[in-house]
A = this chain, B = another copy of it.
Amino acid sequence: MTTEARRAQLLDVGARAFGTQSFDDVWIGEVARKAGVSRGLLYHYFPSKREFFAAVVEQHADALLRSTEPDPALDAAARLRASLEGYLRYVQAHPDGYRALYRGATSADATVRALMERNMDRQARRILRDLPPALRRADTELAVRGWLGFLVSSCLAWLDDPAIPGDALVDLWGRALGGVLLTPGADVPDSGS
């Protein structure tokens, strides 16, 4: 196996471990056994459990961002829908990685915490950049940050219990964003000018 293929395989086994157990319950020896490698080899790729976890988180944070890249060829509504569908497709293809990213993610560690915050910042900035100026108000950034929390919480709950079809989940995400961006707050001024 090449170095790159081995690293990818270890990250997959890691996502399964960190996505289904709390950080403290993950045993590196057990992960190595499942990957069919020695503890020593695992530590050669990832020097500590924290670094291994951070690598899993970073991989899925980056890939999730790539899979929701807005398509400039589409109009605003279709662009949002396409990004949300890309988000769901990623989550369905990588449920363990997604859980590791947002449920396992221990903010105990300052490195992982910074990584998660940067990831949320990038997502928020991308949505804000894509927003027509007419929709910008003083509460818009808070609305977008709140909505990202909506997305993650509803997605984790849906993974545990997919009570509705994926299309209906994407629709719920769209309605949630519309509910806060399209309806102006009573006492919130525009922030555009």
Chain A residues near B (Cβ < 8 Å) = 22-25, 103-110, 113, 138-139, 141-143, 145-154, 157-158, 163-165, 167-169, 171-173, 175-176, 178-180, 183, 185-188
Contact = CB atoms under 8 A, between A and B. Distances in A.
A178 B175 contact: no
Contacts of A175: 179-180, 183, 185
23 contacts: A22-B109, A23-B106, A25-B110, A103-B107, A106-B108, A139-B163, A139-B164, A139-B168, A142-B158, A142-B163, A146-B173, A148-B153, A149-B149, A149-B151, A149-B154, A171-B187, A171-B188, A172-B185, A175-B179, A175-B183, A176-B176, A178-B179, A179-B179
A23 B167 CA distance: 38
A57 to B, nearest CB: 12
A145 B173 CA distance: 12
A163 B110 CA distance: 26
B151 A168 contact: no
A187 B175 CA distance: 12
A165 B146 contact: no
7 tightest A-B contacts by CB? Answer: A179-B179, A149-B153, A146-B154, A149-B149, A23-B108, A106-B108, A146-B150
A171 to B, nearest CB: 5
B150 A147 contact: yes
Contacts of A145: 153-154, 157
